[in-house]
């Protein structure tokens, strides 16, 4: 008597997660009055979608320079930076600018809001650059401001807002085009505890709920504790 033994069904291997950004052997130096200053030295790390990574380090360790490279505002002196599958190292400025506008949202420490524009208009600025219609811009900006608790401040200008409110407007602006990467430079540095918690809640929700990667430069240990991972910069090197 013979039995038909079913062959095992081959299950396709689950593809490994491809990092949204990957930095390998990255260096950045400047020449000032004929003297070379090495700011970043052989930095290597990656960040995946859905992940919040905190960059920590003492003042002068290279955190802001690293953030500028990740945001395509600066280029490395050597090494490589791959963003969303694109090797950015040799990109021409036009392509770099488009990739930055479409792929990166910035939350600056000093907010950089347009002083004579309302909160609603400030949030809409990246969408203007992206060619989004006025009707859609207004609806999206209103939705984002409501999500950060500023639905009652749509027409307020920056000088009418507290520091925490301005930071929330800056965050809403960074999220307006739903970029895959959010870069935040000391986003809670000048805020009270409640505002700091709200900002971090929003950044974490963006990573987990919208499949984005979030990189936060911070001196605040409470912010670093809430990140999925911490990358420390010591004299320009990642640890």
Pick among 3.50.30.50, 3.30.420.60, 3.40.50.2000, 3.40.50.300: CATH of 21-238: 3.40.50.300
pLDDT of 42 strictly over 60: yes
**Alpha-carbon distance 88 to 168, whole Å?**
30
Backbone angles phi, psi at 147, to 5 degrees: -70, -25
Strands (E), 48-90: 52-56, 78-83, 86-87
Question: CB within 8 A of 136, min separation 6: which ones?
Answer: 127
Of the pLDDT bands very low, low, confident and very high (cuts 50, 70, 90), residue 4 is: low
Distances (CA, A) of 56 to 4, 9, 201: 61, 47, 19
pLDDT in tens, 8-18: 444 444 445 68
pLDDT at 188: 86
pLDDT at 13: 46
Do the Cβ atoms of 218 and 190 come closer than 8 Å?
no
pLDDT at 3: 46
- Identify the H or E element spanning 38: strand 35-47
DSSP 97: H
pLDDT at 216: 97
- Segment 166-191 mean pLDDT: 91
Tell me the pTM: 0.88
């Amino acid at each position: 008597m013979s039995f038909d033994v079913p062959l095992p069904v081959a299950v396709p291997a689950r593809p490994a997660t491809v990092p949204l950004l990957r930095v390998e052997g990255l260096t950045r130096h400047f020449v000032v009055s004929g003297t070379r200053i090495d700011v970043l030295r052989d930095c290597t790390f990656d960040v995946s979608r859905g992940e919040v990574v905190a960059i920590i380090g003492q003042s002068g360790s290279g955190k802001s320079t690293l953030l500028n490279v990740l945001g395509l505002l600066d280029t490395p002196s050597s090494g490589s930076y791959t963003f969303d599958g694109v090797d950015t190292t040799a990109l021409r400025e036009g392509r770099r600018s488009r990739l930055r506008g479409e792929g990166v949202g910035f939350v600056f420490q000093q907010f950089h809001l347009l002083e004579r524009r309302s909160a609603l208009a400030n949030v809409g600025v990246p969408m203007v650059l992206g060619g989004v219609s006025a009707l859609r811009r207004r609806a999206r900006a209103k939705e984002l401001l409501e999500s950060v608790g500023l639905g009652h401040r749509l027409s307020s200008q920056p000088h009418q807002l507290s520091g925490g409110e301005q930071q929330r407007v800056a965050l809403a602006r960074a999220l307006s085009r739903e970029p895959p990467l959010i870069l935040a430079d000391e986003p809670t540095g000048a805020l009270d505890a409640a505002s700091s918690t709200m900002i971090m809640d929003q950044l974490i929700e963006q990573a987990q709920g919208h499949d984005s990667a979030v990189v936060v430069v911070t001196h605040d240990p409470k912010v670093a504790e809430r990140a999925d991972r911490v990358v420390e910069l010591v004299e320009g090197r990642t640890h």
